[in-house]
Amino acid sequence: MNFLDLVSVTELCEYAANVDIPIARESIRAVGKIALQQYDVNAIVDRLLQFLEMEKDYVTSEALVNITSAC
């Protein structure tokens, strides 16, 4: 994963904590899409797993959908 992808994923992860549900969902989807394009899928899946700790229903459901897609 290159530096730009890492910065993008980090910023998208911050958006996932956003109270605006559509923005949070789209950011999680974007992280999932990056995972599918990267060789280091494990690192991105770890990020997606961190979303499960946020204990927000919409974040958890979107993360689970993307984890199953990435694996």
The reported pLDDT for the residue numbered 70 is 65
Query: 30 lies in which domain range?
Result: 3-70
The whole-chain average pLDDT of the chain stands at 80
Total domains, the chain: 1
CA distance linking residue 2 with residue 60, whole number of Å = 27
pTM of the entire structure?
0.71
Half-sphere exposure of 56 (CA within 13 A, CB side): 16
pLDDT confidence band for 3 (50 / 70 / 90): low
Q: What is the pLDDT of residues 39-51, one digit of tens each?
A: 677 777 788 888 8
